[in-house]
Amino acid sequence: MSYNDYGIGTHGCGQDVAVGRRVALNASGQLVYATATSLGIGVARLDQVEGEDVGVAYFNKPGTHLMVAAGAFVVGADVFAAAFGKVRALPTAAGDYVKVGVALEAAADDGDLVEVLAVESGKVITVSS
């Protein structure tokens, strides 16, 4: 077993992944996009195709992460897990949402790459109806 205290590691891709997307490990230990209901292990550092290795910036590493937005949000907004490894503002619909961090840049649209500070990552916020 290897040991990593740098906060960045390399994993094989179980699907094509894109830079700035949150990733998780599947049952085979390969990277796939994290879902809207999970934090994942970190953020892909490059675009990569299925079967190849890619660098991952783990959520416990010091510093910030570049992440892909699923829609618009403002600077300073808490951002939450969205489908396909993206992040979004807190939805208004009732439900439980997984916090990813705080946006250090605004996102104007789906697909924007923005800087996020991983603060309280994994905390579940419940929106009541």
Q: Are residues 68 and 24 in the same domain?
A: no
List pLDDT tens digits, range 48-69.
Answer: 999 999 999 999 999 999 999 9
How long a stretch of residues is the chain?
129
Q: Are residues 85 and 115 in the same domain?
A: yes
Residue with tokens 């829609």: 71
83 located within any domain: yes
Band the pLDDT of 129: cuts 50, 70, 90. Answer: confident
Residue with tokens 């416990």: 60
Instruction: Give the total number of structural domains in the chain.
Output: 2
Domain extent for 42: 8-58
Check residue 2 and give its pLDDT: 66
List pLDDT tens digits, range 75-119.
Answer: 999 999 999 999 999 999 999 999 999 999 999 999 999 999 999
Among 112, 94, 100, 113, residue whose Cα is nearest residue 45: 113
Q: Is 26 exposed, middle or buried (0-12, 13-18, 19+ CB in 10 A)?
A: exposed
Q: Are residues 40 and 75 in the same domain?
A: no
3 located within any domain: no
